[in-house]
Amino acid sequence: MEKLIGRLIQKDRIALSKLITMVENDSPKSLDIMKAIYPLTGKAYVLGVTGPPGAGKSTLVDKLIRNFRSEDYSVGVLCVDPSSIFSGGAFLGDRVRMEWAYKDDGVYLRSLATRGALGGLAPRLSEIIKLMDAYGEEIIIVETVGVGQMEADIIRYADTKIVVSVPGLGDQMQALKAGILEIADVLVVNKADLPGARDVVDDLQMMLYLKKESDWTPEIVLTEALNDRGISDLYEAIHRHRTFLCQSGLKEQQIYLQREHACYGAIEEGLKNHLHKSFLEVDEVKAILKRVREENLNPYHAADEILQLLFTNTH
């Protein structure tokens, strides 16, 4: 592990890939890896790109990568794909679309499987972002699975959240209301050459008008990603939001919350590991679970008994 971390610091992308795989697969060394690399983190700027399926998120991300690379930023890209029901792996569709990126040493592209996680993200996303940060990526773009109204977990990890919509989704406000609209820092209406694009913009403006006041009002950007139109406007909107975060002090607040979330996440993971590896080996717990299976013991009564045993054993 120490050798891999040393190679990571030396910008060895094979070492980065191996460390990500270890963390993603819940290696017993994951916690030690994160403790070792954490002092190297805190420099990257994280973009989250989310929105409903078919909105053109991958094409937008592809264009954004090219813009960042034109200004010589190093870019890491995490494409979250639905898991295979057979292998648990990611579909890798986004990597097919961004094939050119493999020829650019300044771009690191990785597909992640949701593995059943909700919120449009992968289970170890926070740790993987930190690994890419420690590696030295200046910009990290996270593209989520196509998400619904409340699947907005990207807010925990991204500095700037981009919510993408397109004309023709039916009830636009049903698609965008609640959590998904609340998180937006930049709103993108992609495929703006299609009929109804202006109606989507009008709907979004109305929603923003009704939204409670805040220090930042999300910008609405019209794009045609396939035709490379509006991408420079989106790129500039991202930079304006980044400048706002830094000048307002909100960037520091985000860092504080992300640190706290990382601590809670590590505690939660440790407790789950303790439960599965240690506590379920306790004879009393085995006996209770056997009664659930074979004697039709009320599973909620059983859970209460097991929790009481857990708290008794930890005091």
Question: At 236, is the pLDDT very low, low, confident or very high (cuts 50, 70, 90)?
Answer: very high
How large is the angle between the packed helices 125-135 and 13-24, nearest 10 degrees? Answer: 160
Provide the mean pLDDT of the chain: 83
Residue 28: the pLDDT is 84
Express each pLDDT in 20-49 by its tens digit: 999 988 888 888 999 999 999 989 999 999
pLDDT of the residue at 272 = 79
- In this predicted model, what pLDDT tens digit does every residue of 157-214 receive, in sequence order? 899 999 998 887 655 555 455 556 778 899 999 999 999 899 889 888 888 877 767 7
**Per-residue tokens: 252:** 């520091």
pTM (two decimals): 0.83
Q: Coil, strand or helix: which one is 47?
A: strand
User: Quick one: DSSP state of residue 144?
Assistant: P
Per-domain boundaries in the chain = 2-248, 261-313
Question: For the segment 47-105, what is each residue's pLDDT rounded down to a tens digit?
Answer: 999 888 888 898 999 999 999 999 999 999 998 876 554 445 545 555 556 667 777 88
Question: What is the greatest pairwise CA distance in the chain?
Answer: 67
| pLDDT confidence of residue 189 | 93
Which CATH number applies to 2-248: 3.30.1490.190, 3.40.50.300, 3.30.56.10, 1.10.760.10?
3.40.50.300
Name the CA radius of gyration of the chain, rounded.
22
